[in-house]
Structure 1
Amino acid sequence: MMEMKAVTSSKLASVGYRPNAMILRIKFIKDGVFEYYGVPESLYSGLIEAESPGRYFKQYIKDKYRYVRLQNLS
């Protein structure tokens, strides 16, 4: 079970990170839950601390890491 932290964003609901596996999980408000692989912990930290998590995601994570959409996660 991955602990998810709520973020203040119009696009992202919450984020979680598994450091030993370098997996970033993001729950989007409209699009569901996605896992991104090979993401450094520094990017996770930057995402949860960003003034605009949605903008940070778009700039540093989106289209840069392999990902899958997860099913049946609330």
Structure 2
Amino acid sequence: MKLPAPINHDPSNERPAPTEDELDIRAPLDTMPASSFQSSNVHSALYDYGEAQLYIRYLRDGQDAIYEYWGVPASTWDGLLKAASKGSFINANIAQSYTYSKLSASSFPQRGHGLNNDLARRFVTTP
């Protein structure tokens, strides 16, 4: 069995994770729950249309590995939803292109329970 290609990020695009006070997920939101696809790299994803921010939860670093990407257009989110291979799409269109921060579920207030939006809360807290 061939192992999937790892998702590689451009280290020059990384910035420090926001503090709990700075971390703000707004609406409208759209999610790509783990149950909607099979991927060896990606657990799930959340897109914030209001802020053009994409949150991807990866499997390779454990399901607590969440990356936040800034300035991602809705067309890129749509492409990810339609992609046959989520990991390949992320490698080709997201990981090298957008500024990102590494987060974890613990980066969110009370492991996500303090989030006002149900979709965001489920994204952060669902294993």
If each structure's strand is expressed as a fraction of its own residues, which one has the higher value?
Answer: 1
**1:15 is the counterpart of 2:42:** no
**1:25 is the counterpart of 2:58:** no
- What's the % identity of the aligned pairs? 31
Task: Kindly tell me the number of residue pairs found equivalent between the two proteins.
Answer: 74
Unaligned 5+ segments in structure 1 are: none
Q: Distance in 2 between matches of 1:20 and 1:8?
A: 28
Name the residue aligned to 2:67. Answer: 34
Q: Which runs of 4+ in 1 moved over 6 A?
A: none
Name the residue aligned to 1:54. Answer: 87
**1:64 is the counterpart of 2:97:** yes
Unaligned 5+ segments in structure 2 are: 1-24, 107-123
Q: TM-score, normalised by structure 1?
A: 0.87
One-letter identity of the residue aligned with 2:38: T
One-letter identity of the residue aligned with 1:22: A
Higher Cα radius of gyration = 2
If each structure's helix is expressed as a fraction of its own residues, which one has the higher value?
Answer: 2
Q: Distance in 1 between matches of 2:79 and 2:93?
A: 9
Q: Distance in 1 between matches of 2:100 and 2:78?
A: 19
CA RMSD of superposed structures (Å): 1.6
Name the residue aligned to 1:45. Answer: 78
Return the offset for 1:49.
Answer: 1.2
Q: TM-score, normalised by structure 2?
A: 0.53
Q: Distance in 1 between matches of 2:79 and 2:31?
A: 15
